Amino acid sequence: MHKYRTHNCNQLRLSDVGHAVRLSGWVFRVRDHGNLLFVDLRDHYGLTQVVIDKDSSAFALIQGVKLESVIRVDGKVLARKADQINSNLPSGEIEVRAEEIELMSEAAELPLPVAGNAEYPEEIRLRNRFLDLRREKLHANIVLRSQVIASLRRRMIDQGFTEFQTPILTASSPEGARDFLVPSRLHHGKFYALPQAPQMFKQLLMVAGFDRYFQIAPCFRDEDARADRSPGEFYQLDFEMSFVTQEDVFNAIEPVLHGVFEEFRGGKHVTPPPFPRIAFKDSMLKYGSDKPDLRNPIVISDVTEVFRGGGFGVFAKAIEEGSVVRAIPAPGAGVRARSFFDGTNQWAKDEGYAGLGYINFKGGEGGGGVAKNLGPERVAQLVSQMQLGPDDGVFFACAKPNVAAKLAGLARTRVGQELDLIEKNTFKFCWIVDFPMFEWDELEQKVIFSHNPFSMPQGEMNALETQNPLDILAFQYDIVCNGIELSSGAIRNHKPEIMYKAFEIAGYDRSVVDEQFRGMINAFKYGAPPHGGSAPGVDRIVMLLADEPNIREVILFPMNQKAEDLMMGAPSEVSPKQLRELGIRFIGDTKPQS
RNA sequence: GGGGUCGUAGCUCAAUUGGUUAGAGCACCGGACUGUCGAUCCGGAGGUUGCGGGUUCGAGCCCCGUCGACCUCGCCA
């Protein structure tokens, strides 16, 4: 007989009745009847009920055993009587009558219960992650993550992609997120950086002629956390392809994402390919976001012209000064109490905006101050343009275009949630395309790269030389699912002259490009194929499939919001000897700069 | 760095809005019980109400400060 087990805890069935077996696992639950005692024995695979009778030599031992102790049970498989069958358990038709039990590892009193599905503070969960990971939901999430990654790999390989590993210790790069730096022992005063993404490496792989690359790539960014952004590190399905147009990239990845979502969708509907393509400009107008949640049926309209020179003075005046008006319909909300409208207005103010105007229609009659001052003719124009129903509500965001779009987008989400309009049980995908190449930085008062400096501008050199930089679009695209940005990608700029020109527009001298992007710009001078790719976030894909609102629920050992690992105690101080070797002296400033 | 929510037993929560000795469930310890599957029943132990100060006859509750957690803005090409 095997030293530890002949079967796992989810293996025994009626066909095993009568056999002598050996099981090992954790004591999940105990039901003590004094002269008869039940133990639910748990391992990775499931549960088996163990029965211990008073006559058994194991009885005394098991009566004092603590939950989550690890035991080995020798016994016989018995069929349960009809009224004792537990139909919730795959092994519920049998039980194991224990003859001998060995306590292999005793558990102390638990800081965190493993049984049950109550919620517990993250600090305790993270500090005792090994216990938290024993719990059913988290355990299942992590297994799901592994299966999703295996599926992604298989699907990419089936599509003709080849997996490569790129360096973890690399060079710091300008722009983008803050780098994690690693000091060099051999070169005092110099640092490696952990890659924010294998961006340049994958492009170099294209130059090297590998044609189709992918990698489940670890990425490191020293930025603050969010519910959907893990601090420090995360994983991307990073891929790149040679001799492709934007459409080729879409056609390659859509079946992979659609396939993996279909495989693990849990009964939900998945957008079939081709996914809708929405221009960035249209997305900002209609959804007030570059990552629209298409489960929300509300569509925003621009109604600036209805208000221009009209009787609603606040808006009319703002429009003269360059503001626009965006209208957010609230279907069927017209009959709601005034508190709904005033509450939404107050919410907008609390978010730091000027507020939201509104009209509430009741039986086709527009109510509220906006309708009164605007006059029946213009209200009728609104109804016709927006195709409003007789009992709809409508909110108005009036501000400079960028701000109005953002507020309208937030209001769209809020109204959709309040009115319970968000479609359930569905994964709605779309591409956001035609991102602007550059944007205006109000703070620095200069033109900056809008997304990725390596993207090819639409119109290439001609566009850079002849168009207003702020009007130039890039072959840059994001893939969005249910309002979550899964990835961003681009057709890359593989021509050094266009690269120099693009960086020049963003205020970087040729020498800066040569220095900061030396490896890549140099490579492009020796025959570079046109190429492009993208990098869907693996953690976010799993998060969607596991239906978890927080990314830490799909990561084995996540750090907390302050980027600390409470279990391992990272980051930690290091010895003076280590610092000396690195040529580093700590100056005693313990507060981070901001 | 700004804003929000929270902080009471090992864990989840309560405490009639400022009033007697801060309660309950789970877990833990002891006892009863041979068919439970969130076992049940009886009993026990467990608390500087995050920390510091203030107001008050009296503070878990009000005020000030501070620490921590999460959410969020900034940030994330």
User: How far: A31 CA to B38 C1' (Å)?
Assistant: 10
pLDDT for residue A536 is more than 70: yes
CA distance linking residue A362 with residue A394, whole number of Å:
12
Comparing A104-108, A316-320, A350-354, A574-578, the range with the smallest average pLDDT is A350-354
Measured CA to C1', what is the nucleotide nearest A224?
B75
Q: What is the pLDDT of residues A361-382, one digit of tens each?
A: 999 888 888 999 999 999 999 9
CA dihedral A510, A516, A519, A523 (to 10 degrees): -20
Phi, psi of A151 (to 5 degrees): -70, -40
pLDDT digits (tens, 9 = 90+) for A192-203: 999 999 999 999
Rounded to whole angstroms, the Cα distance separating A298 from A53 reads 64
Per-residue pLDDT averaged across A408-431, rounded? 91
Nearest nucleotide, CA A33 to C1': B33
Q: What's the pLDDT band for A270 if we cut at 50, 70, 90?
A: very high
- Report the nearest residue to nucleotide B11, CA vs C1': A112
- Give me the mean pLDDT over the A435-448 stretch: 83
Which residue has 């060995």 as its token pair?
A102
Q: Which residue is nearest to nucleotide B28 (CA to C1')?
A: A109
Q: Which nucleotide is nearest to A448 (CA to C1')?
A: B77
Taking the C1' atom of B40, which residue's CA lies nearest? A33
Q: What is the rounded distance in angstroms from the CA atom of residue A383 to the CA atom of residue A299? A: 14
The predicted structure's pLDDT at residue A531: 97
What is the reported pLDDT for A196? 92
Measured CA A565 to C1' B70 distance, in angstroms: 16
**Chain B bases near protein Cβ (<7 Å):** 1, 10-13, 26-30, 32-40, 68-77
Is residue A590 pLDDT above 70, yes or no?
Answer: no
At A483 the three-state DSSP class reads coil
Would the ipTM clear 0.90, i.e. be above it?
Answer: no
| pLDDT higher than threshold 70 for residue A591 | no
Q: pLDDT averaged over chain A? A: 91
Can you tell me the distance from the alpha carbon of A64 to that of A131, in angstroms, rounded to the nearest whole number?
21
The owner of tokens 């302050």 is A562
CA distance A235 to A542: 11
What does the block give as tokens for A282?
């249209």
Strand intervals (E) in A469-577: 476-481, 484-491, 531-534
Å between A541 CA and B68 C1'?
31
**Composition of chain A by helix, strand, coil, percent to 5:** 35, 25, 40
CA→C1' distance for A114 and B46 (Å): 21
Q: Measured in angstroms, what separates residue A353's CA from nucleotide B3's C1'?
A: 14
CA pair distance A542, A544, nearest whole angstrom: 5
User: Which is it for strands A36-43 and A94-105: parallel, antiparallel or unpaired?
Assistant: unpaired
Angstrom distance, A97 CA to B7 C1': 47
Secondary structure (H, E, C), A163-175 = ECCCCCCECCCCC
Q: Distance between CA A154 and CA A500 in Å, rounded? A: 39
Q: Which nucleotide is nearest to A450 (CA to C1')?
A: B77
pLDDT bracket for residue A562 (50, 70, 90):
confident
Least confident of A17-21, A535-539, A570-574: A570-574
Between A533 and A516, the higher pLDDT residue: A533
Q: Which has the higher per-residue pLDDT, A428 or A562?
A: A428
d(CA A328, CA A418): 13
In A190-274, beta strands by DSSP E: 191-193, 212-221, 232-242, 269-270
Nearest nucleotide, CA A406 to C1': B73
- The spacing between the Cα labelled CA in A144 and the C1' in B46, in angstroms, equals 40
Measure, in angstroms, how far nucleotide B2 C1' is from residue A388 CA. 39
In the predicted model, what is the mean pLDDT of residues A374-401? 93
Return the closest nucleotide (C1') to the Cα of A81.
B35
Over residues A335-344, the mean pLDDT reads: 84
Cα–Cα separations (whole angstroms), residue A254 to A202, A260, A378? 20, 10, 44
Nucleotide nearest to A115 (CA to C1'): B38
Residue A11 pLDDT: 96
Which nucleotide comes closest to A452 if you measure CA to C1'?
B77
Structure tokens at A89: 């358990």
Say which nucleotide is closest to residue A92, CA to C1' distance.
B37
Q: Model confidence at A589, in pLDDT bands (50, 70, 90)?
A: low
Point out the residue nearest to B68 (C-alpha to C1'): A123
3-state secondary structure of A431: strand
In angstroms, the CA A431 to CA A536 distance is: 12
> What whole-number distance in Å separates Cα of residue A35 and Cα of residue A55?
8
Q: How far is the CA of A162 from the C1' of B18 (A)?
A: 70
Nearest protein residue to the C1' atom of B31, measured from CA: A34
Cα A539 from chain centroid (whole Å): 6
Dist. CA A394–CA A66, nearest whole Å: 60
CA A537 to chain centre: 6
CA of A38 to C1' of B40 (A): 14
Q: CA A545, C1' B1: Å apart?
A: 35
pTM higher than the cut 0.95: no
DSSP A318-379: HHHTT-EEEEEEETTGGGS-HHHHHHHHHHHHHTTSS--EEEEEETTEEESHHHHHH-HHHH
Sign of CA dihedral A257, A243, A490, A205: positive
Which of helix, strand or coil describes residue A247? helix
Residue ranges in A182-236 assigned as alpha helix (H): 199-207
Residue A594 banded pLDDT, cuts 50, 70, 90: very low
- What's residue A236's pLDDT? 95
Higher pLDDT, A66 or A434: A434
Q: How far apart are CA A388 and CA A370, in angstroms?
A: 16
Residue nearest to nucleotide B26 (CA to C1'): A113
Q: CA–C1' span, A407 to B73, in Å?
A: 14
Measured CA distances, A181 to A184, A232, A470 (Å): 9, 12, 33
Query: Nearest residue to nucleotide B73 when comparing alpha carbons to its C1'?
Result: A351
Query: Can you give the distance from the CA of residue A579 to the C1' of nucleotide B51 in angstroms?
Result: 35
What's the pLDDT tens digit per position in A272-326? 999 999 999 999 999 999 999 999 999 999 999 999 998 898 999 999 998 999 9
Q: How many CB atoms lie within 10 A of CB A470?
A: 12
C1' of B40 to CA of A139 (Å): 31
**More reliable by pLDDT, A441 or A488:** A488
pLDDT-wise least confident of A130-139, A276-285, A561-570: A561-570
Our measurement of CA A22 to C1' B67, in angstroms, reads 51
Report which residue is nearest nucleotide B10 when distances run from CA to C1'. Answer: A111
| Nucleotide with the nearest C1' to A118 CA | B12
More confident residue, A77 or A593: A77
Q: Which nucleotide is nearest to A126 (CA to C1')?
A: B69
The residues near A59 (Cβ < 8 Å, ≥ 6 apart) are: A37, A52, A53
